[in-house]
Amino acid sequence: MKFYLGTHKPQWLQQTTVPLFVSEMTLRTYKKLPRSIGSWALDSGGFSQLFLRGGWPVGSEQLYIEHVQRYRDEVGNMEWAAPQDWMCEPVMLAKTGQNIQQHQEHSVNNFIELRTLDATLPFIPVLQGYTLSDYIACATIYTRRGVDLVGRVGVGTLCRRQGTKEAELIVRTLACILPKAHLHVFGAKVTGLPHFGSVIGSADSMAWSYHARRRPALPGHTHKNCANCLEYALTWYSEVLQCLHNA
């Protein structure tokens, strides 16, 4: 399993070879983009977009394509990019006023639209839902639309449930029914990975920043806490890898 370190500091792309997961919401603010020295993946910022604005703007696909083209060419080493998908937590449904099936249709339609606009960009399909049957239904929608769920396939709307038996059942079932997919679990929790890490291809987490805000800064550091600190993030990342190795 490949583990991506989530970061809100795009400049880290030129400071570490650890695989990074970087949000488009922060990267888009850079006039001069950092040049990556390691592999990385792009988060579309879908959670923030839906939570703050209740959906993606109509016609935003072309602008997103242009941004991703720029990241591919100027940052380099981009392994894959998330589409403009729609999460299915109850809070998100309340924000959009739509139901799970509509969010799934939006997610599938967006992936197909992005791939149609530029088939050279490494967008991945993302399965969205809330219950196991929802995720299976979403996989069926992709299949009916002619999308082969092989290679990297994202699994969304699990970040707050990954320490539960329900999340483990969802991930393990999807891994079983999609044997050619290398599942990526978004927003992974350290408590959940030991339960299903062996059946997925990759995961990401930015939990280090949450932890750092609630703990004293590392010895010798002058900032109030290490919520924006690369050294703290890399130390946390190494500890997670060691825990997974020992699990």
User: pLDDT, tens digit, for every residue of 18-33?
Assistant: 999 999 999 999 999 9
DSSP letter, residue 123: B
Average pLDDT over residues 11-22: 98
Contacts of 143 (CB under 8 A, 6+ apart): 149
pLDDT at res. 218: 86
pLDDT at res. 26: 95
Cβ atoms of 110 and 84 closer than 8 Å: yes
Average pLDDT over residues 176-192: 93
Contacts of 145 (CB under 8 A, 6+ apart): 108, 112
> What six digits make up the tokens of 124?
């991945």
Bigger pLDDT: 78 or 211? 78
pLDDT at res. 162: 63
Q: Which helix (H) or strand (E) holds 127?
A: strand 126-127
Residue 114 confidence class, pLDDT cut points 50, 70, 90: very high
Q: Based on the number of CB atoms within 10 Å of its own CB, is 238 exposed (0-12), middle (13-18) or buried (19 or more)?
A: exposed
Number of helices (H), then strands (E), belonging to the chain: the values are 10, 8
pLDDT at res. 227: 86
pLDDT at res. 185: 96
Domains of the chain: 2-205 (3.20.20.105)
Phi, psi of 91 (to 5 degrees): -65, -35
Q: Helix, strand, or coil here: 240?
A: helix
Q: In what order do the strands lie in the sheet with 2-7?
A: 78-81, 40-43, 20-23, 2-7, 202-205, 181-185, 151-155, 126-127
pTM of this structure: 0.94
Name the least confident of 155-164, 200-209, 235-244: 155-164
Average pLDDT over residues 69-89: 98
DSSP letter, residue 75: I
pLDDT at res. 191: 82
DSSP letter, residue 217: P
Q: What is the dihedral of CA 224, 230, 233, 234, to 10 degrees?
A: -140
> What six digits make up the tokens of 59?
């016609």
